[in-house]
């Protein structure tokens, strides 16, 4: 009996599962320890998205091209809205690329609990691993569309259109992180709400479609300077990011540091709020899903 007591005092456990006792306990250390699992989810998300499709990742090229053609017709030919002296195709493709990344992060993370309930009910791992893997896997999609944009920029450069690479290009990853953070934060908040209110998913689909038109994707922010709707687009935290993205690429856009600071603060608030709500809901979501 004495020997067993002595042996037990020297036992060391790699993982100890304990109930969460604090609303503010996020277990970010556990997320890092499960980073290999997160990369497996990244691969799963990318592969599963194109399983049993004919064109596969080519859809990432087809979709922005078709959307660009629609914008060229509606906003360029019909509405005759200017593009801040940027080539229309490059203007539209740049906005579509950064917007698609945000929309994909938001819509895919918003169904985290519902679509992964079977996994959550069988084995333990930090639940934040899945929405984080979604944000990372969508970077591949953004990379493909950004590469398509670069190809068109090179083509226009050969046609004599001045394309200048400046040090502002170094800030593009920062803008992508801001978009990812806002999409992630809003997504996990909505994901937490959909465990009880399934119609939030339908509302989100409408909100994403509407959000594209209150963000300067198909028109420059300068176009609204003489209209009464400028404030509506101005309070949108995505607007400064899109304008800054275009400024980094083409050195033409309406952007200010105060607007970018507003977007950064908004991103921090929604990420922290989303993680706290996610942390609270995950403890008993299996009873409501």
The pLDDT of residue 53: 57
Query: Which residue reads 């909100």 in tokens?
Result: 207
Residue 38 C-beta-side C-alpha neighbours within 13 Å = 18
Give yes or no for residue 281 having a pLDDT over 80.
no
Query: Which residue reads 């890092």 in tokens?
Result: 32
- Split at pLDDT 50, 70, 90, the class of 68 is very high
pLDDT in tens, 227-276: 787 888 889 999 999 999 999 998 888 888 999 999 999 999 999 998 88
pLDDT in tens, 121-141: 677 777 788 888 888 888 988
End-to-end CA distance of the chain: 47
pLDDT in tens, 102-114: 999 998 888 877 7
The pLDDT of residue 152: 93
More confident residue, 147 or 230: 147
The pLDDT of residue 113: 74
The pLDDT of residue 6: 47
CA dihedral of 34, 39, 42, 46, whole degrees rounded to 10: -150
The pLDDT of residue 70: 93
- Split at pLDDT 50, 70, 90, the class of 170 is very high
Weakest-pLDDT range from 35-44, 115-124, 215-224: 115-124
Are the beta carbons of 59 and 53 closer than 8 angstroms? yes
The pLDDT of residue 285: 57
- Split at pLDDT 50, 70, 90, the class of 11 is low
Domain ranges for the chain, please list them: 26-47+54-287
Weakest-pLDDT range from 9-13, 74-78, 180-184, 232-236: 9-13
CA dihedral of 173, 45, 37, 287, whole degrees rounded to 10: 110
Give the best-scoring range by mean pLDDT among 45-49, 109-113, 186-190, 236-240.
Answer: 236-240
Are the beta carbons of 57 and 50 closer than 8 angstroms? yes
- Split at pLDDT 50, 70, 90, the class of 217 is very high
């Amino acid at each position: 009996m004495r020997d067993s007591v002595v042996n037990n005092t020297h036992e060391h456990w790699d993982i100890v599962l304990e109930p969460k006792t604090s609303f503010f306990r996020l277990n970010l250390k556990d997320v890092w320890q499960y980073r290999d699992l997160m990369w497996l989810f990244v691969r799963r998300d990318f592969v599963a998205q194109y399983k049993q499709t004919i064109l596969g990742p080519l859809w990432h090229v087809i979709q922005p091209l078709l959307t660009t053609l629609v914008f060229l017709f509606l906003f360029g030919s019909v509405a005759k809205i200017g593009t801040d002296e940027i080539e229309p195709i490059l203007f539209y493709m740049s906005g579509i690329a950064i917007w698609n990344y945000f929309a994909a992060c938001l819509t895919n993370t918003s169904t985290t609990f519902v679509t992964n309930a079977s996994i959550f009910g069988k084995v333990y791992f930090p639940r934040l691993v899945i929405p984080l893997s979604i944000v990372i896997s969508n970077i591949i999609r953004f990379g493909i569309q950004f590469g398509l944009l670069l190809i068109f920029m090179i083509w226009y450069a050969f046609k004599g259109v001045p394309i200048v690479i400046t040090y502002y290009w170094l800030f593009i990853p920062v803008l992508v992180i801001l978009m990812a953070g806002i999409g992630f934060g809003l997504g996990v908040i909505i994901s937490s709400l959909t465990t009880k209110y399934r119609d939030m998913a339908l509302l989100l689909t409408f909100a994403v479609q509407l959000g594209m038109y209150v963000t300067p994707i198909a028109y420059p922010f300068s176009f609204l300077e003489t209209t009464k709707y400028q404030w509506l687009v101005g309070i949108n935290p995505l607007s400064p990011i899109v304008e800054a993205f275009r400024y980094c690429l083409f050195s033409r856009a309406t952007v200010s540091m105060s607007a970018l600071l507003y977007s950064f603060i908004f991103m921090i608030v929604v990420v922290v709020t989303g993680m706290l709500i996610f942390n609270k809901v995950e403890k008993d979501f299996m009873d409501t899903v």
